[in-house]
Amino acid sequence: MSSGFSRVIQGCMNWGKWGNSLSTIEMEKLIHFNLESGISSFDHADIYGDYTTESDFGKAFKNSTVKREDIQLISKCGIQYVGKSRPNNTVKHYQYDSNYIIYSAEKSIKDLNAEYLDLFLLHRPSPLMHPDEIREGIEKLLNDGKIKSFGVSNFSNGQTDLISTSSKVSANQIQFSLSHNTPLFDSTLDYMMINNITPMSWSPLGSFFKNQNDNKKVHDLLSDLSKKYNASKDQLLLAWVLKHPSCIHPVIGTTKTERINAASTSTQIKLSEIDWFRMLETYLGHKLP
């Protein structure tokens, strides 16, 4: 079943102040480049760039003249971030009362120049969240046509169950990669398959480019596989994520056009089962039981 999102999703966390501080024209070009590369879904959160990146993107989107229906916009709410934009936040916390949920969605929509969000996520689970309170906000947003679907991010199965008692959860955006592989073993991905929840994975490349000297064995294996598959290391890491039967959508962070293009074409790599397991075993450093 199609999720309605491009298989590879472009993450926008680093587009603004928290990363590359792209200009409006650079963002506009990048929106077009993604679309030309087959990536039509863009991942945001209210907090990116200390609450500034959505409006930076929104300006570029408006200028781009790309039609709203030709892209999918994801945003997230609920983290109260400590920064200049919110001087009253003296401690980082989460807020999920219905009024704040509605306020956040409406602000993201306005900032993004978007009319509606295709998917609206609760960014992180809060120990104080109540499913009925969340339903009140989400139901209103859905009924008003402000959001097309609702989901969660970084939620465990139990936390998703809790929210599902009141609202239909259609996606969970989790950290997942070869180096962050716990969702394979703690039933997070199985749960999503069983419950028809779309998995999205942030940091899909894992830790491998953060320190090239780490994981030398994985880098050596990736170098060998690069020749076999005529693919770059980042493509192989994405192919590894993409092979999981739950149909994970990697949310990529690069803003470099050649890497965006490589990420998009990684969907065509047919990684064999043996090589998938070889990559896992090499990372784990031991045989599977």
Ligand X SMILES: NC(=O)c1ccc[n+]([C@@H]2O[C@H](COP(=O)([O-])OP(=O)(O)OC[C@H]3O[C@@H](n4cnc5c(N)ncnc54)[C@H](OP(=O)(O)O)[C@@H]3O)[C@@H](O)[C@H]2O)c1
Say how far apart CA 126 and CA 188 lie, in whole Å.
Answer: 18
Q: In sequence order, which residues have a C-beta less than 8 Å from that of residue 244 and are 6 or more positions away?
A: 184, 189, 199
Q: What is the DSSP letter of 191?
A: H
Out of 14, 126, 166, 261, the only residue in the binding site for ligand X (CB under 6 A) is 14
Q: Report how far residue 119's alpha carbon sits from residue 273's, in angstroms, rounded to the nearest whole number.
A: 32
Indicate the residue among 49 and 137 with the shorter CB distance to ligand X. Answer: 49
* Cβ distance to ligand X smaller for residue 137 or 204: 204
- Dist. CA 74–CA 15, nearest whole Å: 15
Residue 222 touching ligand X (CB under 6 A):
no
Residue 256 in contact with ligand X, rule: CB under 6 A:
yes
216-229 helix and 273-284 helix, angle to the nearest 10 degrees = 170
Cα 176 to Cα 130: distance, rounded to the nearest angstrom = 26
Task: Mark the segment that binds ligand X (CB under 6 A) among 6-14, 53-61, 218-226, 269-277.
Answer: 6-14
Exactly one of 48, 51, 191, 229 is catalytic; which is it?
48
Q: Which of 12, 71, 122, 141 binds ligand X (CB under 6 A)?
A: 12
Does residue number 34 form part of the binding site for ligand X (CB under 6 A)?
Answer: no
Give catalytic status of residue 116 as yes or no: no
Round to whole Å and give the CA distance between 218 and 224.
10
**Residue 173 touches ligand X, criterion: CB under 6 A:** yes
Is the CB of 3 or the CB of 136 nearer to ligand X? 3
Helix (H) or strand (E) holding 120: strand 119-122
Q: Does 253 bind ligand X (CB under 6 A)?
A: yes
Q: Does 202 bind ligand X (CB under 6 A)?
A: yes
Question: Which residues belong to the active site?
Answer: 48
Can you give the binding site for ligand X, defined by CB under 6 A? 11-14, 43, 123, 153-154, 173, 202-205, 209, 233-234, 251-256, 259
